[in-house]
Structure 1
Amino acid sequence: MGFYGDLQDLPLQDILYVLSSHGKSGRLTLSIPTDEITLVFHRGRVASVTTSDESLRIGQLLIDQGYITEEHVEQALALQAVEDGRTRLGDMLVELGFVNHQQIWKAVAAQFEASLFRILIQPGGTFVFTPEEVEIDEAFMEEIRIEPIVLNAMRMADEWLATHAKQDTVSLTDVPFVPAILDRLERPELDVLLAILNGASNMYDLAAKTGRSQEELDEVLDRLITLGLIERAQHPGAVPAT
């Protein structure tokens, strides 16, 4: 039997505990203003994570972690299309010999944690769980443990909420910049800059749109400020970052 509701009424960590402890299989779709995330469960374990944010997709995370290249992802996607999408991208990459199961697990764990963090710092959102039988590699699933990932995501969210306030604003500078400077930026810097261009105006919005932790955002913003691309200001009453 499925269920649905508001994340303000039933916290995400409680939903995950119920699904995990009762060994449920199915799809949990979490909707927040900036993203839609789907967790596929197989007998109480997370089998896969999908998100509408390209920066958190499994292929991009594997690239960011240095396991594969964009060409590897393109090749796997091409073969996946031939099979009408029946094989998941991670499984296709393993079949092609580009990565192993442990590397896929690390990427899925990072994807899961970043998605949870993004939801936990949001003021609202909805959830829908639909029961469904899921076929998955049991040996692969043995590697994934929900509890430590959830606890770490909650710790990161608590730290972020305790040290940042919505009054802590970010904006582009008025000084024109040379387009070539974009070639000097790394992926996290491009993600943050794109989020600001798309309307993010404070640390809360940036964390929600990018899924980056407090430490990552502080480092990225410092680099962008040094390059003269953005400026950051704390209004009275904001809690300073530590």
Structure 2
Amino acid sequence: MPFYGDLEDFPLHAILQGITSTAKSGRLTLGTSSDEITLVFDRGRVAAVTTSDGRLRLGRVLVEQGYVSEEQLEQALALQMVSPTPVRLGDLLLELGFVTRQQVKLALTAQLEESLFRILVKPSGSFAFISETPPAAPDETILDETPLEPLVLNAIRRADEWIASRGRREVITLADEVTDPAVLDSLTRVERAVLLALINGATTVHDLLVETGHPLPEIDAALATLSRLELIRVTEEAPDSRPASE
């Protein structure tokens, strides 16, 4: 029997706790006006994550984390398409020797947390859980030993920071030119992630929280450094310049 409703009435962490604590198997679909993710559970364990956002698919996450190259991902996807039997991308990349099991686990963990975060920052969302009988000999799930609760709590923390940041009025733009290109080599991982997000169109703090996945204190520290290095400009937004939809 399906179980469904609104996330405003049933907190996400409570839904996930109910599924894991009772070792249920099935599909949990979480949706908003712009995003949809599906978590496949096998006896209370997260066996797979699918998302409507192409940037959050496992292959893209592996590339962004530097575990595989674009060429390796394309090769694996091509083999996946012609495989006579369904094969998971992570399993195929492991078989090809492009990644380690730990790297796939880390990428899947990041994919799951980011997907939950995208759902939590939306003002209204829905969920539907459909029970399914697991296969007689279920495949090993790479996230078997990964506790779900810390991922959920971290996604909730990030969502709270993102929502709180919407009251901030800073607008962040890239500098017209880099006066000393050598400073780019000295940037930290967080500072590079912030700079890349700005290049890709981010303009506010809560944009950066979504795009980088880093917590607010790290974002603020990176902005301070990038501003000092004259790589960005941080200006105050006019009070009436925000879209009404926000």
TM-score class, shorter-chain normalisation, is 0.7 to 0.9
Q: Deviations over 1:70-127 (max 9, x none)?
A: 1111001001111278111111111111112221111111111122223223322111
Indicate yes or no: 2:187 matched with 1:214.
Answer: no
Opposite residue 146 of structure 1, the aligned amino acid is: L
2:154 is the counterpart of 1:149: no
Structure 2 match to 1:239: none
Specify the code of the residue in structure 2 equivalent to 1:83.
Answer: S
2:188 aligned residue: none
Per-residue deviation at 1:4? 1.2
* Structure label with greater radius of gyration: 2
Task: Give the structure 1 partner of residue 242 of structure 2.
Answer: none
Which residue number in structure 2 is paired with residue 57 of structure 1?
57
Offset, 1:45: 1.0
Secondary structure of the equivalent of 2:142?
Answer: helix
Q: 2:36 maps to what in 1? A: 36
Question: Unmatched 5+ residue regions in structure 1?
Answer: 237-242
Question: Is structure 2 residue 169 aligned with structure 1 residue 168?
Answer: yes
The more displaced of 8-17 and 88-97 is 88-97
Q: Is contact 1:121-1:208 (8 Å) kept? A: no
Aligned mates of 1:31, 1:85 — CA distance in 2: 29
Residue 236 of structure 2, aligned match among 218, 221, 233: 233
Change (3 A) 1:117 1:166: same
Q: 1:56 & 1:188 partners in 2: Cα distance?
A: 18
Question: Is the contact made by 1:113 and 1:152 (CA closer than 8 Å) also made in structure 2?
Answer: yes
Could you tell me how far apart the structure 2 residues matched to 1:31 and 1:192 are?
27
**Unaligned stretches of 5+ in structure 2?**
185-190, 240-246
Higher mean C-alpha deviation, range 70-79 or range 101-110: 101-110
RMSD: 3.3
Indicate yes or no: 2:93 matched with 1:90: no
Segment drifting more, 117-126 vs 89-98: 117-126
CA offsets 1:141-178 (integer angstroms, 9 cap, x no match): 4332212222222333344445x2344353668x9789
8 Å CA contact 1:122–1:208 kept in 2: the answer is: no
Q: Is the 8 A contact 1:195 1:206 kept in 2?
A: no
User: What is the one-letter code of the residue matched to 1:18?
Assistant: G
Partner of 1:8: 8
C-alpha distance in 1 between matches for 2:198 and 2:6: 28
3-state SS in 2 of match to 1:147: helix
The TM-score normalised by the length of structure 1 is 0.75
- Paired with 1:129 and 1:192, the residues of 2 have a C-alpha distance of 37
Counterpart CA distance in 2 for 1:84 and 1:7 is 39
User: What percent identity do the matched residue pairs reach?
Assistant: 48
Matched-pair contact (CA < 8 Å) for 1:31–1:127 = yes
Aligned partners of 2:170 and 2:84: how far apart in 1? 44
Displacement of 1:30 after TM fit?
1.2
Q: Secondary structure at the match of 1:34?
A: coil
- Residues 167, 159 of structure 1: CA spacing in aligned structure 2 closer, same or farther, 3 A cutoff? closer
Count of matched residue positions in the alignment of Structure 1 and Structure 2:
225
Summarize the Cα distance change of 1:31–1:171 in structure 2 as closer, same or farther, 3 Å threshold: farther
CA-CA distance at 1:220 after TM superposition? 6.6
Amino acid at match of 1:144: T
1:171–1:141 CA distance, 2 compared to 1 (3 A): closer
Counterpart residue type for residue 17 of structure 2:
Y
Structure 2 vs 1, CA of residues 151 and 54 (structure 1 numbering), >3 Å: closer, same or farther?
Answer: same
Residue in structure 2 matched with residue 45 of structure 1 by the alignment: 45
Q: Which position in structure 2 is the counterpart of 1:76?
A: 76
Q: Which amino acid aligns with 1:156?
A: R
Contact 1:27 1:129 in 2 (8 A): yes
